Amino acid sequence: DIQMTQSPSSLSASVGDRVTITCRASQTVTNFLNWYQQKPGTAPRLLIYGALNLQSGVPSRFSGSGSGTDFTLTIVSLQPEDFATYFCQQSYSIPFTFGPGTKVDGK
Amino acid sequence: QVQLQESGPGLVKPSETLSLTCSVSGGSIGGSTSTYYWNWIRQPPGMGLEWIAYVYSTASTNYNPSLESRVSISKDPSKNQFSLRLRSVNAADTAIYYCARSRASDRGSFEIWGRGTVVTVSS
């Protein structure tokens, strides 16, 4: 199985901050890397697919980059509704695997 | 738009079989014009996400090797539903179970999710 790691595991930020979350795969996933947002009590929501493609309806303040084994999710100006947990996930090979998550909360 | 809704028993006894159903509305689950994968994913309390299985529009399937010996997935186009069966459950199977749709262009990118159904394994 491909192991996914994320850093940091949690971070505290303020509205308007630029937030960066990194994800690393234990082997190459080319560009088959997705990012999800999850708020308490709700299902995950797809934000970014194919490492850098914004899912329909997702605000443009979210962006993704990277390829191979190292990836980044950036929120350019954090909004109140962005406090949540973020997961990366590889869709390169079965079994599809998720990172452990990064919790973004307020300072 | 397409919506997914999980249904299940809520509580299952150890060693029994868990059966879950995902009802799809706003779109067809089967047929030659449907090019989607239909997935089950779970999340134990306070923990991360685990992909379980998918069934394609053609009814081909694929499973997480860690669960493959106990799980089966199927679809019923006549009801526009797909289902999961997990045999010999134990406490480690306690989780929120989600159904989700992914595209043929990226079978592992889960673009639409149901709200999830809570399953507790306990005697």
Tens-of-pLDDT digits for all 107 residues of chain A?
Answer: 999 999 999 999 999 999 999 999 999 999 999 999 999 999 999 999 999 999 999 999 999 999 999 999 999 999 999 999 999 999 999 999 999 999 999 98
Phi, psi of B23 (to 5 degrees): -95, 130
pLDDT greater at residue A92 or residue B46 = A92
Residue B27 phi/psi, 5-degree rounding, is: -175, 160
Q: Which chain B residues have a beta carbon less than 8 Å from that of A92?
A: 108
Residue A23 phi/psi, 5-degree rounding, is: -140, 135
As a whole number of angstroms, the distance between CA A3 and CA A99 comes to 8
pLDDT at residue B32 greater than cutoff 80: no
Give the closest-approach CA distance of B66 to chain A in angstroms: 9
Amino acid at A84: A
Answer yes or no: are the C-beta atoms of A63 and A54 closer than 8 Å.
yes
Does the beta-carbon distance from B48 to A44 stay under 8 Å? Answer: no
Q: Tokens in use for A79? A: 């909004």
The pLDDT tens digits for A15-45 are 999 999 999 999 999 999 999 999 999 999 9
Closest CA to A84 of A39, A42, A52: A39
- pLDDT value of residue B58: 83
- Buried b or exposed e, range B40-66, using 16+ CB within 10 angstroms: bbbbeeeebbbbbbbbbbeeebbbbee
Residues of A in contact with B98 (CB under 8 A): 43-44
- Are B38 and B45 in contact by the 8 Å Cβ rule? The answer is no
Q: Which residues of B touch A88 (CB under 8 A)?
A: none
Backbone CA torsion sign across B19, B66, B62, B37: positive
- Quote the DSSP letter at residue A96: P
Pick from A46, A94, A101: which is nearest to B111 by CB? A46
Q: Give the model's pLDDT for residue B31.
A: 60
Pick from B8, B1, B11, B2: which is nearest to B98 by CA? B8
**Beta-carbon contacts of residue B118 (< 8 Å; ≥ 6 apart):** B10, B95, B96, B97
Which of B39, B49, B61 to probe the A interface (max A CBs under 10 A)?
B49
Please give the pLDDT value at position A5.
98
The residues facing B5 across adjacent strands are B23
How much is the pLDDT for A23?
98
Q: Residue A73: which residues within 8 A CB-CB, separation 6 or more?
A: A20, A21, A22, A23, A35, A47, A48, A62, A63, A64, A86, A88
